[in-house]
Amino acid sequence: MAYDPKTMSDTKLQSIPEPARVDGDTPALRLFSLLEVIARKDQFFSLQSLVEETGLPKPTLHRMLQQLESAGMLQRDADGRFYGPGLRLRRLAEDLLLNNTVHGARHAVLRKLVEEVGESCNITALSGSEVLYLDRVETQAPLRFYLHPGSRVPAHCSASGKLFLAQMMPAQRRRLLDQVPLEKYTAQTITDFDALEREIESVKREGHAIDNEEFLPGLFCIAVLVPRPGGRSNTGIAIQAPVMRVSRDKALQFLPALKRAANAIAAIDAAAMPATRTAA
């Protein structure tokens, strides 16, 4: 609140005023995108200010705001000059956060794990051909990698990614890897398909995967899958640390704690699943 570059940029000299992309493949998604811009504001705003911020044509923006207002997602100030979030939008946000027991519980597990091992940890999922960070808790240690939830990394050079690959049928894995060739990020990155297959065999045997500076120099990572009874898992959990602090041996000592956390998350997810079949 004290220092917001966006607000500051009203003194537009010749600086680029941050286009604040509002886009999407479909009108509805553009609306969401607009809401995201709005959600980040802590002040009311005028139509014109949004026009300048987003670059959208005025009539378009006018229609969008009107639509959101008539739906109760936004509210206008008394004289109709300024918009702010509306009752309905707030309630939607509250409902989401209140009922989202899954995320809260997962996060708690992650925090506990970080406390136990003293290194940053994250929960991951396979999205397309990339690994997506669903959640992350940072260690307190001063030396650390700063990566945030929502980041994406290639599957072939991350511990979680190898786990996801390892549970696929060979043909399926081949198809996926053919789309995005094995890019080399560091000296250690496995870029040869056969070498990767061998690595994956080892992952299958061990039940866990390791990334030894294969994506970022100096970053060591160990991961296991969150088990899913009777099916492939789409959730992994990983510990990430600077090689300076965590050798392979030390990482292996973390395994029991890591597996305990994975099981805890499996239990949470199971509880959030609809009963297999309710009497109709």
What distance in Å separates the CA atoms of residue 132 and residue 139, rounded to the nearest whole number? 20
Task: Convert residues 94-133 into a mask of x (bound to a second copy by CB under 8 A) and - (unbound).
Answer: xxxx-xxxxx---------------------x------x-
Tell me if residue 126 falls in helix, strand or coil.
strand
Q: Does 51 bind a second copy (CB under 8 A)?
A: no
Taking CA atoms, 82 is separated from 59, 66, 199, 245, in Å, by 16, 12, 58, 53
Tally the C-alpha atoms within 13 A of residue 244's C-alpha that lie toward its C-beta.
8
What distance in Å separates the CA atoms of residue 208 and residue 203, rounded to the nearest whole number? 6
Nearer to DNA, 34 or 216 (CB): 34
Q: Does 27 bind DNA (CB under 7 A)?
A: yes
> How many residues form the binding site for DNA (CB under 7 A)?
22
**Residue 44 contact, options a second copy, DNA, none, Cβ 5-8 Å cut-off depending on partner type:** a second copy
Give the one residue of 2, 10, 16, 26 binding DNA; rule: CB under 7 A.
26
Nearer to DNA, 52 or 138 (CB): 52
Q: Which of 165, 157, 160 is nearest to 134 (CA)?
A: 160
Amino acid symbol at 68: L
**Residue 47 contact, options DNA, a second copy, none, Cβ 5-8 Å cut-off depending on partner type:** DNA
Tell me if residue 102 falls in helix, strand or coil.
helix
Report 76-135 residues binding DNA (CB under 7 A). Answer: 80-81
Taking CA atoms, 248 is separated from 121, 236, 241, in Å, by 16, 19, 11
Outline where DSSP puts E strands in the chain. 74-76, 83-85, 120-127, 130-137, 152-154, 209-212, 219-225, 235-242
Q: Does 55 bind DNA (CB under 7 A)?
A: no
Q: Which of 103, 99, 168, 171 is nearest to 137 (CA)?
A: 103
**Residue 175 contact, options a second copy, DNA, none, Cβ 5-8 Å cut-off depending on partner type:** none
Q: How far is the CB of 88 from a second copy (least distance, A)?
A: 8
Binding site for a second copy (CB under 8 A): 1, 10-12, 24-29, 31-32, 35-36, 39-46, 49, 67, 70-71, 73, 75, 77-79, 82, 84-85, 87-97, 99-103, 125, 132, 134, 149-150, 228, 231-235, 272-274, 278-280
Binding site for DNA (CB under 7 A): 25-28, 30, 46-48, 51, 56-60, 62-64, 66-67, 80-81, 280
